Amino acid sequence: MDYDVVIVGAGAAGLMAAVTAAERGRRVLLLEKMDQAGRKLRITGKGRCNLTNTNSLRDTLPHIGSDSRWIRNAYGRFFNRELMEFFESRGVPLTVERGNRVYPASGKALDIFLALIGELEGRDNVTIRKNATVIKVENGERSAENGETERFVTAVLLQGGERITCRHIVLATGGLSYPTTGSTGAGYRMAQELGHTIVEPVPALVPLKCEERIPNELIGFQLKNVQLSLYDGTKALFRSTVGEMAFVDDGLSGPIVLSASRVASRLLNAGNHVDRQSHNLTAVLDLKPGLTPEHLDRRLIADLDANGTRIFNDALRLWLPAELIPLALKQLHIEYYKRLNQINGDERRRLGRWLKGVVFTLRGTHDWNEAIVTQGGIALGEVNPKTMESRLVEGLYLVGELLDLDADTGGYNLQLAFSTGHAAGMAV
C-alpha cells in the first residue's frame, strides 16, 4: 500500500484536502479524470474567483442550506480568516469588494489554483495523476464487537481495470454543475453504491425561465436597486435583498435571481411532473423597494399633477428606464396616448401596484451548463461534520459539492468546498 490517502477529484475541495494531508506528512495520491486539474476553480466568478466572504459566522450561516448548523464544526477550525491567511501566506494578495466578497487582487482565479497546485507539485509525498477516471470505491466488511457488520474502504477501481488499494479515500468529484469541467455526478453514484442516501440534485444559482415573453428591448438589460420575491400561490417563499438582476431571452438572471433560484429550483425541477404542476410559482419584481405603496402613490399624484399635458407613453420615463416601457404598456392596459391629467384614480393605483410588483410566472430553470452549484447530494446526517468521514463506511470522506450543502452567491460556496476539504485533509 503506497498511499495513506487517495483523493478523487482535483477541484477546490480535493486540492485543499490534498494540500492539508500532504503538509501533515501523509502520502497522497490525487486522481483527476480530466486532462487538467482545477478546471471549474479556474473559471469560477467569471474567471475572477470570489473565494470567500468576510462576514462573521453568524451572518454567514443564513446564506447556507439545507442545514447550516452542520458546517459549524468545520468553520470553527478553518473559516474565512484562515482561508485568507492560507493564500496570502503563499504569495496571493487578496482584496475585499462590495458585499464583503474576497477576490485575488490580480482578479485572476488562476492565481488561486496555482497556489494550491504549487503546494503539491514537487512534493515527494504527493503523486498527481490526470486522465485517471475512478469508476468504483471498493469496500470490505468485518464483525464489530457488538455483533454488527462494519464496512471500510479497501481500494479504488480505475477505468481500464487498475486497482489501487488504500485505507482512506476522499471523494471530491463535485456535483453536476458545469459538466464540461468534469462534474458529471459520478461521485453520487459511487456513494450510493456504498449505501449513502442522495437527496435529488437540482441546478442552483441558475437563471429562471418565465411563461411571459421577454420583449427584445429587455434582453440583456440590467436593473439595479430592485427587489425580488417568490410566491407559491399566495404563500411567500423568499425575498431578496435590494440588488441587481438582468433579463435573458426566456426569463430572469442576475444576482438576486440566482439567490431566488435556490428556493425555486427544488420546486421547478421536482422529479414528479404532478408535483411540479401542484405549484404556482411566481417571481414578483419590486422596482421601487425604497418606497412604501403609500409613499409611491403620493409621488405618483404629484408627478401626474406636475406633468398633466404629457402623454402617458412618454411620461413613463418619469418612473422607468426606457427599456421597461414596452413591458409596462403591455401589462398596464392604459392607453398609450392618454395625457397624464386624464389618468384616473384606478389607473394611477394600477400603475403603483405594477411598479411595486411586476409578476413573472415561473416555468423552469436553465440547465446544468449554467448552474453555478448543485443543490442536493449526499445526506448530511450520514457524514461526520467534524471529519467529513462517512458514518456508513470507515475511511471514506465526502467533501465539497457532493454534499447536500449549497449557499448563496458571494463566496460562500467556495468557502464550503475549502472548509470541508480541509477537515478531511486533517482527519486522514
Cell of 71: 458546517
pLDDT exceeds cutoff 80 at 66 = no
Q: Is the pLDDT of residue 328 over 80?
A: yes
Fold category of 5-201+375-427 in CATH: FAD/NAD(P)-binding domain (3.50.50)
Give the chain's mean pLDDT.
95
CB 28 within 8 A of CB 22: yes
Cα–Cα distance for residue pair 110/298, rounded to 1 Å: 52
Give strand pairing partners of 232: 235, 281
3 state DSSP class of 176: coil
Output the pLDDT for position 271.
64
Identical fold between 5-201+375-427 and 293-356: no
The Cβ-side half-sphere exposure at 123, using a 13 Å CA radius, reads 23
For 214, which DSSP code?
Answer: P
Long-range contacts of 110-118 (CB under 8 A, 24+ apart): 110/42, 110/47, 111/49, 112/41, 112/49, 112/51, 112/87, 113/15, 113/37, 113/38, 113/41, 113/42, 115/87, 115/90, 115/91, 116/15, 116/16, 116/19, 116/38, 116/41, 117/15, 117/37, 117/38, 118/90
Global model pTM greater than 0.85: yes
Q: Where are the domains of the chain?
A: 5-201+375-427, 207-287+359-365, 293-356
Cell reading at 369: 451548463
Which of 230, 213, 204, 206 has the alpha carbon at shortest distance from 282? 230
What is the Cα–Cα distance from 405 to 414, expressed in whole angstroms? 11
Mean pLDDT of 260-268: 94
Q: Can you give the pLDDT at residue 177? A: 92
Does the pLDDT value for residue 147 go beyond 90?
no
**Strands (DSSP E) found in 125-207:** 126-129, 134-143, 149-158, 163-165, 169-171, 198-204
pLDDT in tens, 412-428: 999 999 999 999 999 99
On the question of pLDDT at 273 being above 80, the answer is no
Kindly tell me if the per-residue pLDDT of 274 is higher than 50.
no
Q: What is the CATH number of domain 293-356?
A: 1.10.8
Q: What average pLDDT does range 143-148 have in this prediction?
A: 82
Q: How do residues 293-316 score in pLDDT, each as one tens digit?
A: 999 999 999 999 999 999 999 999
Rounded mean pLDDT of 7-28? 98
In this prediction, residue 287 has a pLDDT band, given cuts at 50, 70 and 90, of very high
pLDDT reported for residue 158: 98
pLDDT-derived band of residue 276, with 50, 70 and 90 as boundaries? low
Pick the range with the lowest mean pLDDT from 145-149, 155-159, 183-187, 272-276: 272-276
Average pLDDT in the 186-198 region? 97
Phi, psi of 380 (to 5 degrees): -65, -30
For cell 440534485, the residue is 201
**Could you tell me which residues come within 8 angstroms of residue 301 by beta carbon, excluding any fewer than 6 positions away?**
348
The CA distance from 249 to 370, in Å, is 14
Phi first, then psi, for residue 272 (nearest 5°) are -100, 125
The model's confidence at residue 286, banded by pLDDT at 50, 70 and 90, is: very high
The residue-averaged pLDDT of 369-387 equals 96
